[in-house]
Structure 1
Amino acid sequence: MRNSRSKSFGVLALFLVTGAILGGILGEIIASTAIFSGIAPYLVKTFSIFGLPPIAINLYVIKFVFGFSLNPNLISILGLIIAALLFRRF
């Protein structure tokens, strides 16, 4: 049987990914509104933290392309922090 620690790590990862995605979506919405036009460029500027260039594996029948990059903006980082605080509370 699984212990509660592995379950809580999975739930924490789900909270953090959801917080980052919702923060990124909120940042894009803020960037498109006229109300925050003065500070929006600072809030939605992305920071390249980690990146693996795409690697293609061609098997002549199937072609796989793998790659990964992490480019958060300030609002998505705020979403991560709020998600972590919500996880600790519940």
Structure 2
Amino acid sequence: MVAKFGGHGYGMAILFVVIGAILGGILGQLLTGVEALSGVMPYLVNTFPVFDTSAFTINLYVIQLTLGLAFAPNLMSILGIVIALILFRRY
């Protein structure tokens, strides 16, 4: 039995959210050069650190792994997440 979110699996919902956040962030960075939006873009691309874990290293003698995670969205990436969830609900 697969867990469902709006008729689809949670994996597909997470994929939509991640892609929406990435595309929203990229769009925000692309729009920073637009002269007409120069007054509002600094607010839309300013990041807000939610959490940041310091990197740690696991030495397995054959492979050395360094892992860390940070989540610092900006308003454009949050807008991308909202649009992705709306599109996912229609999907």
Find the aligned partners of 1:62 and 1:32 in 2 and give their Cα distance: 42
Identity of aligned residues (%): 47
TM superposition shift of 1:60? 4.3
Do the aligned partners of 2:48 and 2:72 also contact (CA within 8 Å) in 1?
Answer: yes
Alignment root-mean-square deviation, CA: 1.7
- In structure 2, the gaps of 5 or more residues are none
TM superposition shift of 1:4? 6.4
TM superposition shift of 1:62? 2.6
- In the superposition, relative to structure 1, how do residues 3 and 65 fare at CA in structure 2: closer, same or farther (>3 Å)? closer
Aligned counterparts, 1:1-90, within 5 A: 2-3=1-2, 5=4, 7-90=8-91
TM superposition shift of 1:85? 0.7
Find the aligned partners of 2:66 and 2:30 in 1 and give their Cα distance: 30
TM superposition shift of 1:5? 1.8
Higher strand share: 2
The residue type equivalent to 2:71 in the other structure is L
TM superposition shift of 1:53? 0.5
Q: Secondary structure at the match of 1:65?
A: strand
The residue type equivalent to 2:10 in the other structure is F
Compute the TM-score of the two structures, normalised by the length of structure 1.
0.87
Tell me the matched-pair count.
89
TM superposition shift of 1:58? 3.0
Compute the TM-score of the two structures, normalised by the length of structure 2.
0.86
